[in-house]
């Protein structure tokens, strides 16, 4: 009697295969969970900074030398728990990213390597976070920490849309203007992180080192990149205003509408926090807005690439 391959598997292999099948059936939901988790880490990271809990855990990967869990001490007793909570969310994020990677690997052969990107990114983020603690919140390390989180949010949305083959736009390519818009968006994020690095919210009361930049001047340059981004976005919206998605579902109009709303809301909050002296609540909302703006831009960038451009390139990006 011939025994087929599944029957020859040992119990562990069968259990792993069954788990992979379960994850595969929930792959689309896991791509969405990955977006939420990647955005959540920006919010909790902002809470760590704004509450002065950046060095609540003085060591890494342990919280304190010889122990992984926090210990309350003195008036700063809440800070270790806030920092430890952010680290815990990183572990949850890694689990979600790994589950999504397995699900994508089993269900979409064309996206297998894309599915691994969030896992690699979270591991790199954990190492960078550890370095941030060890160098006592050096702002030149804190800024890339935030930018990497934003990149992972952008990629999370991109992967989710590719996984479900979201219908793209029918119309002219607009490669140059889409490229300029992407460059302006990168400028917004980079100069925004430098503005924060030059400002008063260092992440810890005793970590007073800030970027040797005038916060007012950096904020003005940041505002200029925002207006450059708005200008290129406005031009693209005008060009795309009559374009629709393939397949009958008009997701293009929804994408640029959401991006416009989030952009102007984020800009309004940015100006408000600047003129009100950077109150913690508004700064926190602005950091949460970074995640929302990044997600909205990723969706816009993906959905507005014309199908005709993709066909001419000969492959799906």
pLDDT at 245 over 60: yes
Q: Measure Cα distances from 21 to 18, 105, 126, 165 in Å.
A: 5, 11, 29, 21
User: Is there a single domain that holds both residue 49 and residue 176?
Assistant: no
Report the run of H or E that residue 169 belongs to, with start and end.
strand 169-170
Indicate whether 2 belongs to any domain. no
The pLDDT of 268-292, averaged and rounded, is 90
Residues 243-255 have a mean pLDDT of 73
Question: CB-based contacts of 302: which residues, under 8 Å, 6+ apart?
Answer: 157, 158, 161, 162, 166, 168
Question: Does residue 260 share a domain with residue 177?
Answer: yes
User: How many domains does the chain fold into?
Assistant: 2
In this prediction, residue 2 carries a pLDDT of: 46
Query: At 208, is the secondary structure helix, strand, or coil?
Result: coil
Say what the pLDDT of residue 156 is.
97
pLDDT of residue 269: 94
Domain end, chosen from 115, 139, 165, is at 165
CA separation for the pair 108, 27 (Å, rounded):
10
Buried b (16+ CB within 10 A) or exposed e, 97-111: bbbbbbbbbbbbeeb
CA dist., res. 79 & res. 75, Å (int): 9
Nearest-5° Cα angle at 235, 229 to 238: 135
DSSP state of 67: B
Residue of 223 and 60 predicted with greater confidence? 223
Sign of CA dihedral 104, 25, 160, 174: positive
- Report pLDDT digits (tens) over 62-94: 788 877 788 755 554 688 888 888 888 899 999
The reply to whether 41 and 90 lie within a common domain is yes
Q: Which of 177, 191, 188, 176 is nearest to 232 (CA)?
A: 177
Q: What is the mean pLDDT of residues 232-256?
A: 81
Domain that holds residue 261: 167-317
Lowest mean pLDDT among 23-37, 104-118, 294-308: 294-308
Q: Does residue 152 share a domain with residue 217?
A: no
Question: What is the radius of gyration, based on Cα positions, of the chain?
Answer: 22
Q: Output the pLDDT for position 115.
A: 94
Q: Distance between CA atoms of 173 and 100, rounded to whole angstroms?
A: 32
How do residues 14-57 score in pLDDT, each as one tens digit? 777 787 778 888 999 999 999 999 999 999 888 888 887 777 77
Q: Is 76 exposed, middle or buried (0-12, 13-18, 19+ CB in 10 A)?
A: middle
Q: Are residue 181 and residue 248 in the same domain, yes or no?
A: yes
Q: Which two tokens stand for residue 246?
A: 């393939």
Are 155 and 182 found together in one domain?
no
In a domain, 223, yes or no: yes
In a domain, 69, yes or no: yes
Within this chain, do residues 112 and 226 fall inside the same structural domain, yes or no? no
Q: Is the residue at 3 inside a domain?
A: no
Which pLDDT tens digit goes with each residue over 113-138? Answer: 999 999 999 999 989 888 888 877 77
* 63 vs 74: CA distance, rounded Å: 16
Least confident of 57-71, 132-146, 194-208: 194-208
Per-residue pLDDT at 315 exceeds 60: no
Q: What is residue 1's predicted lDDT score, i.e. its pLDDT?
A: 41
In this prediction, residue 170 carries a pLDDT of 67
Same domain, 65 and 103: yes
pLDDT of 3 reads: 44
Residue 1 forms part of a structural domain: no
Residue 5 lies in a domain: no
> Which residue would you say has higher pLDDT here, 244 or 74?
244
Task: Reply yes or no on whether the pLDDT at 314 is more than 80.
Answer: no
The neighbour count for residue 3, using CB atoms within 10 Å, is 7
- Please give the pLDDT value at position 210: 67
pLDDT for 275 beyond 80: yes
Q: What is the pLDDT of residue 203?
A: 58
Whether 46 and 136 map to the same domain: the answer is: yes
Q: Would you say residue 154 lies in a domain?
A: yes
**Last residue of one domain, picked from the residues 132, 165, 198:** 165
Predicted pLDDT at 301: 93
**Boundary (domain end) residue, out of 107, 138, 165:** 165
User: Do 302 and 316 belong together in one domain?
Assistant: yes
50 and 84 both lie in a single domain: yes
- In degrees and rounded to multiples of 5, residue 241 shows phi and psi of -60, -25
Confidence of residue 259 (pLDDT cuts 50, 70, 90): very high
Residue 203 vs residue 51, higher pLDDT: 51
User: What's the predicted TM-score (pTM) here?
Assistant: 0.86
- Is the domain of 110 the same as that of 183? no
Q: What is the pLDDT of residue 316?
A: 47
User: 8 lies in a domain?
Assistant: no
């Amino acid at each position: 009697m011939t025994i087929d391959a599944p029957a020859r598997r040992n119990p562990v292999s069968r259990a792993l295969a069954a788990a992979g099948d379960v994850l595969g059936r929930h792959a689309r939901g896991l791509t969405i969970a990955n977006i939420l988790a990647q955005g959540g880490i920006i919010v909790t990271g902002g809470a760590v900074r704004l509450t002065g809990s950046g060095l609540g855990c003085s060591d890494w990967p342990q919280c304190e030398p010889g122990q992984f869990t926090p210990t309350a001490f003195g008036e700063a007793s809440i800070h270790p728990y806030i920092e430890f909570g952010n680290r815990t969310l990183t572990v949850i994020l890694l689990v979600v990213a790994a589950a999504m990677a397995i699900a994508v690997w089993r269900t979409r052969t064309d996206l297998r390597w894309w599915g691994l990107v969030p896992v690699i990114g979270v591991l790199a983020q954990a190492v960078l976070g550890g370095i941030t603690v060890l160098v006592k919140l050096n702002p030149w390390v804190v800024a890339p920490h935030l930018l990497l989180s934003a990149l992972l949010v952008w990629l999370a949305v991109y992967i989710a849309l590719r996984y479900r083959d979201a219908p793209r736009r029918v119309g002219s390519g607009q490669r140059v203007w889409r490229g300029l818009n992407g460059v302006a968006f990168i400028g917004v994020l980079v100069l925004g992180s430098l503005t924060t690095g030059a400002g008063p919210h260092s992440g810890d009361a005793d970590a007073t080192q800030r970027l040797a930049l005038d916060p007012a001047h950096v904020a003005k340059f940041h505002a200029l990149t925002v207006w450059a981004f708005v200008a290129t976005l406005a031009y693209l919206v005008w060009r795309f205003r009559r374009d629709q998605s393939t397949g009958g579902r008009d997701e293009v109009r929804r994408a640029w509408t959401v991006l416009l709303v989030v952009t102007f809301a984020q800009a309004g909050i940015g100006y408000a926090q600047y003129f009100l002296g950077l109150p913690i609540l508004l700064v926190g909302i602005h950091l949460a807005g970074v995640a929302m703006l990044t997600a909205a831009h990723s969706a816009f960038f993906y959905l507005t690439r014309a199908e005709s451009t993709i066909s001419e390139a000969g492959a799906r990006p």
